[in-house]
């Protein structure tokens, strides 16, 4: 979803313009999940930020095409995070936090895909500024797996809850709408600032995405740095209650 270069109107509305980007994204993840009772055990809940702080792998790429004021783009994010950690908070059983005499040795793994596909219309395009309105959809496919073993004075915990493993693979589509654009400045307008915003709902109760940053234009393309935030608020019946990604990215963009 990195906005493509603003090009002054030249009347060449039949020419296709393309842009592809590869970028490094280093997000932190926060959220909460609640797994319902299973096989005589209580519900298991956890705070993602407390249990998880290790990024295994991430991949991000985007592609855009535009002809005149009309265009389309797709953006793909793959993320793999995991951590083994012993905690005394951020983990609950039956809706209750762990007693002070108990700790949980946890192994949490979260991996999945985030795919955005949208059409765009550009009502404003000059050598200094461009603005696109967009509409489309975003697909979320996340796999969560948590394994735990309680340690300490576990006499107050039922045997079924002292150790176990739960797994869920929530996925959903959301319709989105938003804006993206950029403003060029400096000598020859090579420096630029950019922004992106979308809001949506559907499979989730509400989702939004924000990005802002700056970059420099070369003859072959652009290099930019930005901050990207993605948030999901799930519906009440979902095991994944909340999920958000937030962090810096560095991108290299090629255009032709």
The mean per-residue pLDDT over the stretch 228-239 comes to 86
Mean of all residue pLDDT scores within the chain = 88
Q: Where are the domains of the chain?
A: 16-255
Please give the CATH topology (third level) of the domain spanning 16-255. Lipocalin (2.40.128)
Q: Look at residue 242 in the predicted model and tell me its pLDDT.
A: 87
The mean per-residue pLDDT over the stretch 127-147 comes to 94
| Per-residue tokens: 157 | 């915990």
Q: Which of 39-43, 125-129, 211-215 shows the lowest per-residue confidence on average (mean pLDDT)?
A: 39-43
The string of DSSP codes covering 168-207 is E--EEEEEEEEEEEEEEESGGG-EEEEEEEEEEEESSSEE
Q: Give the three-class secondary structure for 159.
A: helix
Check pLDDT > 50 for residue 4: no
Indicate the length of the chain as a whole number. Answer: 256
Rounded CA-CA distance 137/168 in Å is 23
Instruction: Judge contact between 85 and 51, C-beta under 8 A.
Output: yes
Check pLDDT > 70 for residue 54: no
């Amino acid at each position: 979803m990195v906005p493509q270069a603003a090009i002054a109107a030249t009347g060449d509305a039949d020419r296709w313009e393309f842009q592809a980007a590869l970028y490094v994204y280093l997000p932190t993840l926060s959220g909460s999940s609640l797994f319902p009772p299973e096989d005589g055990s209580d519900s298991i809940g956890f705070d993602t930020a407390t249990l998880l702080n290790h990024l295994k792998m991430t991949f991000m790429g985007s592609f855009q095409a535009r002809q005149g004021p009309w265009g389309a783009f797709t953006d793909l994010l793959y993320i793999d995070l995991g951590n083994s950690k012993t905690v005394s908070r951020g983990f609950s059983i039956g809706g209750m936090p762990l007693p002070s005499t108990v700790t949980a040795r946890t192994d949490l793994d979260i991996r999945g895909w985030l795919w955005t596909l949208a059409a765009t219309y550009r009502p404003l395009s000059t050598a200094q500024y461009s603005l696109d309105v967009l509409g489309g959809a975003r697909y979320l496919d996340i796999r969560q797996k948590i394994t735990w073993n309680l340690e300490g004075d576990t006499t107050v915990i039922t045997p079924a809850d002292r150790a176990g493993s739960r797994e869920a693979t929530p996925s959903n589509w959301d319709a989105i709408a938003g804006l993206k654009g950029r403003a060029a400045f400096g000598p020859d307008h090579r420096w630029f600032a950019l922004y992106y915003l979308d809001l949506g709902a559907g499979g989730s109760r509400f989702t939004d995405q924000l990005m802002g940053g700056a970059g420099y234009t070369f003859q072959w393309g652009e290099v930019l740095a930005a901050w990207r935030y993605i948030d999901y608020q799930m519906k009440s019946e979902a095991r994944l209650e909340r999920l958000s990604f937030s962090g810096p990215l560095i991108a290299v963009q090629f255009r032709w």
